[in-house]
Structure 1
C-alpha cells in the first residue's frame, strides 16, 4: 500500500486549497477508495478463484502458458485478499497491530511484483510461441521445466524486493493510526523498484514482443489472425489505461513535492490507484477466458455443478465442444499458437 495514500493534514497548512475543499476530499477518500477495494476484492476473488479451480481440477499444465496462467491468478488472488484490511483502515484506522502491518505490506507488495513479472513472462512466451512456433513446439518439455524454474525465481525475486516494506513498515499516528513506510530514502527506493518492475519492464516487453507478433501475424495465413490482433490490442490497451495514470501520478509526485500539498493532486492519486487495481479483476478475462481450451473447461465445470441445464445452453455447449474437437484436429501448430494469444 502506498504511503502517500494517507494524508497528513499538516501538509495543507501552507496550501492555497480551501479548508472546505480539503474536508470534502477527506470525506471522498474515506468512502471512495474502500468501496473500490471491496469491488476489486469481490470481482478479483471470484474471477481468480474460478481460474484456479479450472486449472487444478480440469486443465492439466501441458504448456508453458498454462504454468504462467496458473501462477498469475494465484498472485492476484492473494493480492486482492489484502484489500479488505486496507478498506477497513481507510474508513476507520489501522487496528490490526504492527506485525499484521508488516505482514500485509509484504504480502501486498510480493504479489504485486509477482503479478507484473508473470505478465511480462506471458508476453515473452507468446512472442516465442508465434515467432518461433515450430521450435517452441519441439521443445515443449524443456520449456515446461524452464517455466517452473522461472516462476519460482519470480516469487523469490518478488519476496526480496518486498523486504523494504516488511522491514520498514510500521504503524504511525498521523491524525489516525496508519500502516505504511515513512522513511524518505526507503520510499525513493520502493518507488524506483515499483516503476521499474511494475510498469516499465512489462510495458517494454509488450511494445517489443507484440510489435514483432503483429508483424508476424500480418504476414501469416489463417482465420485466427484478426482475432489474435484484437486480443493483442486489448491486452496492451487495458494495461496502458489501468497502469499508466497511477504510475504517472507517482512519478510527478516524486519529482515535484509541491503537488503533494494540493488537494486536487490527492484526488488524482486515489482515483488512479483504484483504476490500477482493476487489473486484478481483468487479468482472468484477458489471459484465461479468451482461450478456447479454458472456455471449454469452464463449461465442463458449469455442467458438473449442475448449472448448465438451468442456463438452457446444454445443446449449444455440446455442439461447441464437438466443433472445437474437429477444429483442433485440423489446425497446424502455428495456427494453434496464434489462436492461444
Structure 2
C-alpha cells in the first residue's frame, strides 16, 4: 500500500481521473498543504513516544523473558514490527514538509520497513489473539502445543507473508522529479496497473482489516464466554483488557480502512467528482496517520497490561532502582511477591488440572 505521504507532492496528473477531471483537473494543492503542516507534527510525536516504549519492551523480553513461551515470542515480534514502522516516521515527516533527499535505494528500504511494520503488526496481533484463545478457551498448555518451536515457526511464516506483500514496493518504488520536487513513490507499469489496483485493494481492506478484525472478535468473544464461567477473581480485569484491545483496534484502524475502501471505489471510477477526490485525499492522510498512534499503544495494551510482562518489568526495576523507590512502584503497579512465586511455580509445573491452568492462563492479560 502506498501511504499518504508518498502522494504528497505528486501532481494531479499522477491520479486516475473521472470524466469531470478530464476536462477540469482537480487542484489538490489544499490537500497537500494540509498534509505538509499536519503530518510532520504527528509523525514526530508518534516517533518520540513510540520508539522508547517498543525498545523497552524488546529489551525487557530479551533480558528477562528470553522467549520461553509463545506469548513472549509474539510480543517480541509485535514490538519489532512497531519499531520498524516507527523508525520510518522521521523520513516521512521530512518528506511531507519538503521532498525526498535520501536517494533511490533508501526510498525502497524505508518503504519496505514501513510495509513490514504496518502489515506485520496486524499479523502478530492476530497471532496473539489466537494464542490467548487457545490458552483460555481450549486450555492448551505450552507443553502440548503452544511451544517455543510453534511460536518461532508461525512467526517466521508471518514475516514471510509480510515480506511477500512488500515485493511490489521493492520492485516498483522509485524517486522522480515532479514539478521540481524529488518524490519517493510507487509507479506501476501501465499495462498491469489494473491488476495491481485490485491486489492493493484486497491487501488493504480484506487482509489488512476485515479478516484480522473478524478473528479478533471471534477469539475474544469466546474468551469472554469462557472467563464468565470461571470463578477466578481476575476474570473481570481480563475482560476489561479484552475490551480495551478490541476497541482500540477498532477505533484506530476502522476510519482508515473505510477511507481506503472509498478510495478503491474511486480508483475503479464507481465514485467520482473532483471535490470528493480532494476530500478523500485529505481523509487518507489524516486516518492513516491515526493508525500510527497504535504503535505507541501496543506496548501498553499487549505488554504492560499483561501480568506476566509486569512481573518481568518488576525484575527490571529491581535491578535498576533502589529498594525505597521499588516499594512505592510495587504498590502503584499492584505487584506482590506471591504473584512472582505463583507464576514461577505455574511455569515449572509440568501437569495441572483445567481450572488451575485457566487461572494461570488469565495471567496472559
Q: Does 1:126 pair with 2:132?
A: yes
Superposition CA RMSD, Å: 2.7
Partner of 2:90: 84
- Identify the range of structure 1 (302-311 vs 213-222) with the bigger mean alpha-carbon deviation: 302-311
Q: Return the offset for 1:83.
A: 1.1
Partner of 2:280: 265
- Spell out, residue by residue over 1:133-153, the C-alpha distance to the aligned partner (whole angstroms, 9 max, x if none): 1x324415x632111111111
Partner of 1:58: 64
Please report the TM-score for the alignment, with normalisation by the length of structure 1: 0.89
Partner of 1:150: 154
SS in 1 for 2:175: strand
Partner of 1:293: 308
Q: Does 1:334 pair with 2:334?
A: no
- Spell out, residue by residue over 1:165-200, the C-alpha distance to the aligned partner (whole angstroms, 9 max, x if none): 110111123332211113233343233223233212
Distance 2:334 2:241 in 1: 25
Partner of 1:177: 182
Q: Return the offset for 1:281.
A: 0.8
Partner of 1:302: 317
Distance 1:205 1:168 in 2: 32
Please report the TM-score for the alignment, with normalisation by the length of structure 2: 0.83
Q: Does 1:230 pair with 2:240?
A: yes
Partner of 2:299: 284
- Identify the range of structure 1 (193-202 vs 315-324) with the bigger mean alpha-carbon deviation: 315-324
SS in 1 for 2:176: strand
- Spell out, residue by residue over 1:109-140, the C-alpha distance to the aligned partner (whole angstroms, 9 max, x if none): 1222221111111111110000111x324415
Distance 1:47 1:332 in 2: 33
- Identify the range of structure 1 (79-88 vs 261-270) with the bigger mean alpha-carbon deviation: 261-270
Q: Does 1:34 pair with 2:15?
A: no
User: Which residue among 87, 102, 107 is the counterpart of 1:96?
Assistant: 102
Distance 1:93 1:53 in 2: 34
Partner of 2:141: 136
| 1:339–1:166 Cα change, 3 Å | same
Distance 1:79 1:239 in 2: 17
| 1:163–1:308 Cα change, 3 Å | farther
User: Which residue among 168, 178, 187 is the counterpart of 1:164?
Assistant: 168
Q: Return the offset for 1:264.
A: 2.4
SS in 2 for 1:313: helix
Distance 1:325 1:298 in 2: 11
Partner of 1:206: 216
Q: Does 1:105 pair with 2:111?
A: yes
Q: Return the offset for 1:236.
A: 0.5
Q: Which runs of 5+ in 2 are unaligned?
A: 14-20, 347-354
Question: 1:120·1:201 contact (CA, 8 Å) conserved in 2?
Answer: no
SS in 1 for 2:141: helix
Distance 1:249 1:85 in 2: 24
Q: Does 1:189 pair with 2:199?
A: yes
Distance 2:121 2:49 in 1: 17
Question: 2:3·2:288 contact (CA, 8 Å) conserved in 1?
Answer: no
Distance 1:117 1:315 in 2: 33
After the TM superposition, which segments of 4 or more aligned residues of structure 1 sit over 4 Å from their partners?
A: 11-17, 307-312, 326-331
Distance 1:245 1:161 in 2: 22
Q: Does 1:215 pair with 2:220?
A: no
| 1:321–1:234 Cα change, 3 Å | same
SS in 1 for 2:335: helix
| 1:187–1:319 Cα change, 3 Å | closer
Distance 2:235 2:137 in 1: 13
Question: 1:296·1:321 contact (CA, 8 Å) conserved in 2?
Answer: no
